[in-house]
Amino acid sequence: MGETPLVKEPVIKIQGFCKSYKKQLAVKGVDLSVERGEIYGLIGPDGSGKSSLMKAIAGVLSFEQGKLEVFGVEVDSESAAERIKGRLGFMPQGLGLNLYGDLSVEENIDFFAQLRQVTDTQLAERKHKLLRMTRLDKFRDRPMKNLSGGMKQKLGLVCTLIHEPELIILDEPTTGVDPVSRRDFWAILAELLREQGVTALVSTAYMDEAARFHRLSLMYGGQILAAGEPGFICQQAQGSLVELSAEPQIHALDQLKNHYSQVEVIGSQLRVFVDDKSSDEASKTVSDLLVGVEIRAISASEAELEDAFIALLRRRRLADQKTNNHAVPSLDKPLPEGQGIAIEARQLTRDFGRFRAVDRIDFKVRQGEIFGLLGANGAGKTTAIKMLTGILPPTGGEGQVAGADMRHAGQTIKERIGYMSQAFSLYLDLTVLENIQLYARIYGVDRGVIRQRIAWVIDIAGLADVTGQLAGSLPMGIRQRLALGCALVHQPGVLFLDEPTSGVDPVGRRHFWDILVHLARVERVAILVTTHYMSEAEHCDHLALMYAGRIVADDSPANMIRALQQEAGQLLEIATDSPLETLALLEQAGFKGVALFGKHIHLLALDIEAVERQIQALLDKQGIRLIGLTAHAPALEDVFVYRVLALENEELP
């Protein structure tokens, strides 16, 4: 008889887990298993139970029902939690919430090292390595409170890792963080996995991060909706995603919404999820439905994770069905017609002492256009918006908004624009109705139409069922729609939105964008939006990429992707039987921008055949099997990361 194989015990094993807050059941009967050396994802919106589950695993939250084991120890008491504490690291949700604002980068690290009883020798070696990995080595003396959001998260990660835990639990570490810092963060995890074999449990609200995980659980309403490898979960949706370009777009959109629940506008494209049909069948069904529109291009593919998530919610009747095809009501006052310039910045500049936050930027936004400002944390996006809205005076340059000079017509501009700031502008201790009434008065809505206008806001934002609730008690998605409604109550022709959907779940985000698309396409409202969601940037007709206060790229999303393809090539997805060894091998061979995505490797390549031969030869030498190599068009995130890293490298001494 052969030797009995060793059964590997999972690092985390959970059965029937339940957690309540007073009478509210937050997590309901969850089963979960995380294997050693795995990056496991918990994906879901705010309020889905991710944080409660992670805190319990970290031993800092009690629970009412179920069994929870970590490293084979049943965590059912404070003494049990103490037994595993030294072997794990926990980073709570929120930018820098586990850090001390007045301490420098180095002082924060030293403090956490003392708490974790790290020796001086270990500290010196680990600190040097972690600061290099996170690219924080040049900022050792900077106070934590003066770091950008991405830098705070990376410092939080360093402090979590300083005692070299076997298990790291990271609660939404990339929320509110720009794509370059997100890419850095995932590169750090890949290196830790390769060098130390750590196990990581990571939660996120970004559906596009799903490919980063070996396995994941989709959570909603305290339950696990689906679990497994990302590809397996996408297949559970049982349907196809049809993408088409049609003119007139708004007519095609209206027709499709009469037949399908999952329809969205992505810039010049329409995307439709068709249940229970193959790609060819789905394309033909959608084509046959459209009458009186010109279909310029159409294709179909397997669902992506966000579409699969929404399809699963819809089929199980967990999502709010009313918001899906909610008819957006029209404005009651006409806006300027045609393609006139609604927003224009000319050499716009803002200095704070010696620091130049915005450096001579130029751009134009046309009436009826959705314009996106992209950039890393601290790139100058919010400062630019504050100057254009009259909140901050510029140091230099000029700007026009809604036909008024930015420098001299502050009050006129305020009457003609709507502004939804990054920090919530709502009064959380007022009800939904009271917030709308207050903003109607602030914006000077005529008494003769105020009741009609309030009803219009309630209708456009889908708030009829919550008018009596306090704003502070609303889920994030509904709260954001209320903030948008308040910014629209005076029916402005120009709308400024500063990271409007950060932390909002995919269903809420889609409803929010349905409203924006109607306002732009039908009502001809000019919309300027900043966002960290690269999938959301695709909704924009035009994008400007900001870096260190300057605009470094200005074009449509499709043209930005085409320009990257011409310069850096296609995105290659490489599958091997040893992904971590392959990653190290490709980095050593000098391949640029190599990144681990779950069990696959991604990189950009101009000459695909030559790169494939080079990779095959490298792998053959090491006895690694190449399972597959496929080429795709790069995504907007690839554009963003490539451009920003190129600029950072230019500035290196």
Look up residue 272 and give its two tokens. 């439709």
How much of the chain exceeds pLDDT 90, in percent?
51
Instruction: Give yes or no for residue 344 having a pLDDT over 70.
Output: yes
**pLDDT of the residue at 593:** 82
Q: Which residue has the higher pLDDT, 325 or 166?
A: 166
Give the highest mean pLDDT range of 45-49, 235-239, 293-297.
293-297
Mean pLDDT of 64-71: 94
Q: Which residue has the higher pLDDT, 479 or 331?
A: 479
Strands (E), 267-403: 269-275, 294-302, 341-352, 355-366, 370-375, 396-401
402-411, 534-543, 622-631: the lowest-pLDDT one: 402-411
Residue 220 backbone phi and psi in degrees, to 5: -160, 130
**pLDDT of the residue at 653:** 58
**pLDDT of the residue at 641:** 87
Question: For the chain, what is the radius of gyration of the CA atoms?
Answer: 25
Instruction: Give yes or no for residue 324 having a pLDDT over 50.
Output: no
Q: Can you tell me the distance from the alpha carbon of 70 to that of 80, in angstroms, rounded to the nearest whole number?
A: 10
Q: Can you tell me the distance from the alpha carbon of 303 to that of 273, in angstroms, rounded to the nearest whole number?
A: 8
Q: Which residue has the higher pLDDT, 2 or 267?
A: 267
Q: Is residue 134 within 8 Å of 184, Cβ to Cβ?
A: yes
Q: Is residue 189 within 8 Å of 177, Cβ to Cβ?
A: no
What are the tens digits of pLDDT across the range 357-376? 999 999 999 999 999 998 87
Instruction: Give yes or no for residue 541 having a pLDDT over 90.
Output: yes
Mean pLDDT of 116-133: 90
Residue 484 backbone phi and psi in degrees, to 5: -65, -45
Mean residue pLDDT of the chain comes to 87
**pLDDT of the residue at 421:** 82
Look up residue 384 and give its two tokens. 């630019």
Look up residue 510 and give its two tokens. 């889609």
**pLDDT of the residue at 4:** 38
Alpha helices in 236-294 (DSSP H): 249-257, 279-289
Q: Is residue 98 within 8 Å of 159, Cβ to Cβ?
A: yes
Mean pLDDT of 123-143: 90
Q: Can you tell me the distance from the alpha carbon of 57 to that of 14, in angstroms, rounded to the nearest whole number?
A: 9
pLDDT band for 313, please (50, 70, 90 cuts): confident
**pLDDT of the residue at 323:** 43
Instruction: Give 568's contacts (C-beta < 8 A, 6+ positions apart).
Output: 593, 604, 606, 634, 642
**pLDDT of the residue at 462:** 83
Residue 249 backbone phi and psi in degrees, to 5: -60, -45
What are the tens digits of pLDDT across the range 574-593? 999 999 899 989 989 988 88
pLDDT band for 193, please (50, 70, 90 cuts): confident
Q: Is residue 220 within 8 Å of 316, Cβ to Cβ?
A: no
pLDDT band for 503, please (50, 70, 90 cuts): low
Q: Can you tell me the distance from the alpha carbon of 642 to that of 203, in angstroms, rounded to the nearest whole number?
A: 25
**pLDDT of the residue at 6:** 40
50-59, 555-564, 589-598: the lowest-pLDDT one: 589-598
Residue 296 backbone phi and psi in degrees, to 5: -90, -30
Instruction: Give yes or no for residue 274 having a pLDDT over 80.
Output: yes
Q: Please give the domain boundaries of the chain with CATH numbers for all domains.
A: 12-231 (3.40.50.300), 235-324 (3.30.70), 341-555 (3.40.50.300), 569-651 (3.30.70.270)
Q: Can you tell me the distance from the alpha carbon of 322 to that of 105, in angstroms, rounded to the nearest whole number?
A: 48
In this structure, the strands spanning 239-247 and 269-275 are antiparallel
Q: Is residue 255 within 8 Å of 287, Cβ to Cβ?
A: no
pLDDT band for 327, please (50, 70, 90 cuts): low
Neighbours of 628 (CB within 10 A): 9
Question: How many helices and strands, by DSSP H and E, does the chain display?
Answer: 22, 28
Instruction: Give yes or no for residue 378 having a pLDDT over 80.
Output: no
294-298, 329-333, 570-574, 639-643: the lowest-pLDDT one: 329-333
Q: Can you tell me the distance from the alpha carbon of 547 to that of 545, in angstroms, rounded to the nearest whole number?
A: 7
Give CA angle at 543 (539, 547), nearest 5°.
130
Q: Which residue has the higher pLDDT, 620 or 329?
A: 620
79-93, 403-417, 466-480: the lowest-pLDDT one: 403-417
Q: Can you tell me the distance from the alpha carbon of 598 to that of 595, in angstroms, rounded to the nearest whole number?
A: 10
Residue 404 backbone phi and psi in degrees, to 5: -120, 145
Q: Can you tell me the distance from the alpha carbon of 542 to that of 557, in angstroms, rounded to the nearest whole number?
A: 6
In this structure, the strands spanning 550-555 and 239-247 are unpaired
**pLDDT of the residue at 1:** 38
